[in-house]
Amino acid sequence: MIDISNLHTGLYIGGDWHDGQETFTTHNPATGQPLAELAAAGASDVDAAVDAAESAFRGDWGALAPSRKGVLLNTLADLVERDVERLAALESIDMGRPVGMGAAMMIPNLIASLRYYAGWADKINGDLIANDGYMGGPAPTHAYTRREALGVVATIVPWNAPLMILGWKLAPALACGNTVIIKPAEDASLSILHLAELVTEAGFPPGTVNVLPGLGKVAGEALALHPRVAKISFTGSTETGRAILRNSATNFKRTALELGGKAPQIIFDDADLDAAIQGTAMGLFFNQGEVCAAGTRILAHRKVYDAVIDGLKGAAQVQVVGDPFDAATTMGPLVNERQRDRVLDYMKIGVGEGADVITGGSAPEGPGYFVEPTVLAGTNEMTVAREEIFGPVGVVVPFDTDEEAITLANDNQYGLSATVWTNDLSRAHTVSARVEAGAVGVNGWSPLAPQLPWGGVKASGIGRELGYEGILAYTETKTVTIVL
Ligand code: NAD
């Protein structure tokens, strides 16, 4: 467990902590008991945060040399590294993930993003553009582009991997010279509040980073509507993404939307079956299945279908569901009661539509929002294979030909990621090219690394984060032409 009594729970605006006019209570999902009382930002707090972020953008942060910005990002990475255990524990007590998983993967991912973009901060260049004389005449022109920061960027993040996902937005936004307002998810603000303390300790100019805990409908909506927020970078549900896109139209905000998924994992009969089953199980049960890229549609070639079913059943049954602070635990509770009930409802719908429960299918007795790791056998038409469940539930669907596998994979509104299991090189490339997804992993889950662009197609969102695309996403091109 972890002591949170000394954690700031207010609004972090302009480098200081402020009380909110309202508060809200978060709960520990492993026990269902109240955990913390946090300030809830209102519209006037959003205005104050925009004022602070804007004056840092026009002032100390904007004036800071690019290489100094990089140094500060690296300093923040050092502090996150120092506090990795505490940050992982704060996320576990808030949203339920086994603590070792956060310490080994999610928090290090934030550190990697901060360091990667620290390196970019003084390497953001425009182009010198060859062109004809001025208006086609004899006077030569000197034309070039500048990549300029956007201004105040709002980031709205979900509860399933708060710091990791925040890092994909915060690090490039700062490296490009923007200032940032963070709206954490209601259910998982604690690690981001601790990060705010580290921002102060690192020595960022006040107002460069601001944190507004609060409700999506209030603080999130006010940010999306705000006329002086230049960009909104959102990760969350498709439904909220639609609302943010509508609200962003007020001032034509730049938007990046990383939304839901229903990732196919296609297992061909030539695959290394042990690796495929192990990898598929990880794609199902990692982070309790609360992963946008969770590979919840397992398309198995009919020749290996029975072996896949048996293998996944075994992999589900060795999961240890329990206290996120117990080292033996591999799956903690789901984030809240609503999410637990939603997952159980989907299982009932699946059974009602004729899915076979291979293993799992219910919630263990006792307090907390735990759900059994569940494998269903069904068809691609069933609701459980069409909609994002966001819990540890996979549906296995058989196929006979490559063409059928691709058709099934693409027959879904989402297109975030996909995994292909095959040892046939030609098939690996062909299927990867034809699957509608922002990222395809062959013989392994798509790695989430700062160098690799990430984002979806179709209802999985708009835009890409990470890699050089992250730099493009947080800058705007200005063309300058000088008639010589
Ligand atoms: P959510 O959409 O309910 O909430 C996400 C964030 O949006 C929260 O901070 C919330 O407070 C805020 N919000 C809610 N209503 C808002 C509004 N009207 N205006 C502005 N902000 C608002 O999503 P969630 O339940 O927290 O997260 C789960 C969803 O996130 C899943 O659908 C999952 O697939 C998706 N997700 C996507 C990725 C990705 O990279 N594509 C990563 C993680 C999670």
DSSP readout, 337-402?
Answer: HHHHHHHHHHHHHHHHTT-EEEE--S--SSSS-----EEEE--TTSHHHHS---SSEEEEEEESSH
Angstrom distances, CA of residue 262 to CA of 110, 243, 409: 25, 21, 9
- Are 217 and 236 in contact, with CB atoms under 8 Å apart? no
Give the distance, in angstroms, between the CA of residue 304 and the centroid of all CA atoms in the same chain.
33
Separation of 157 CA from ligand 1 center, angstroms? 6
In the chain, helix, strand, coil percent, each to 5?
40, 20, 35
Taking the alpha carbons of 411, 417, 420, 425 in that order, is the dihedral positive or negative? positive
**Is residue 270 exposed (0-12), middle (13-18) or buried (19+ Cβ within 10 Å)?**
middle
Report which protein residue has its CA nearest ligand 1's atom 31. Answer: 237
Query: What contacts 47, CB < 8 A, 6 or more positions away?
Result: 226
Q: What global pTM score does this model have?
A: 0.97
> What confidence score (pLDDT) does residue 155 get?
98
Per-residue pLDDT at 380: 98
- For residues 481 and 141, give the distance between their C-alpha atoms in angstroms, rounded to a whole number: 6
- Ligand 1: which of 38, 94, 97, 156 to mutate, judged by most atoms within 8 Å of the beta carbon? 156
Contact status, residue 337 vs residue 32, Cβ threshold 8 Å: yes
Of the candidates 150, 178, 161, 166, the one whose C-alpha atom is nearest the C-alpha of residue 248 is: 150
The pLDDT assigned to 60 comes to: 98
**Parallel, antiparallel, or unpaired for β 34-40 and 22-27?**
antiparallel
pLDDT at 136: 86
Q: What is the pLDDT of residue 446?
A: 86
CB-count burial class (<10 Å; 0-12, 13-18, 19+) for 170 = buried
Which of 54, 186, 292, 465 does the annotation list as catalytic? 292
Would you state the structure tokens that stand for residue 306, as one six-digit string?
């029975």
Q: Which helix (H) or strand (E) holds 84?
A: helix 84-95
Strand partners of residue 39: 23
Ligand 1 centroid to residue 155 C-alpha, Å: 11
Is residue 176 annotated as a catalytic residue, yes or no?
Answer: no
Cβ-contact 298, 397 below 8 angstroms: yes
Cα-trace Rg, the chain = 23
Chunk the chain into consecutive blocks of 10 residues (it has 484) and report each block's average pLDDT, rounded to whole numbers.
93 97 97 97 98 98 98 99 98 98 98 98 97 90 97 98 98 99 98 98 98 98 98 97 97 97 98 98 96 96 98 98 98 98 98 98 94 98 98 98 98 98 98 98 94 97 97 98 95
Q: Does ligand 1 have an atom closer than 6 angstroms to the CB of 174?
A: no
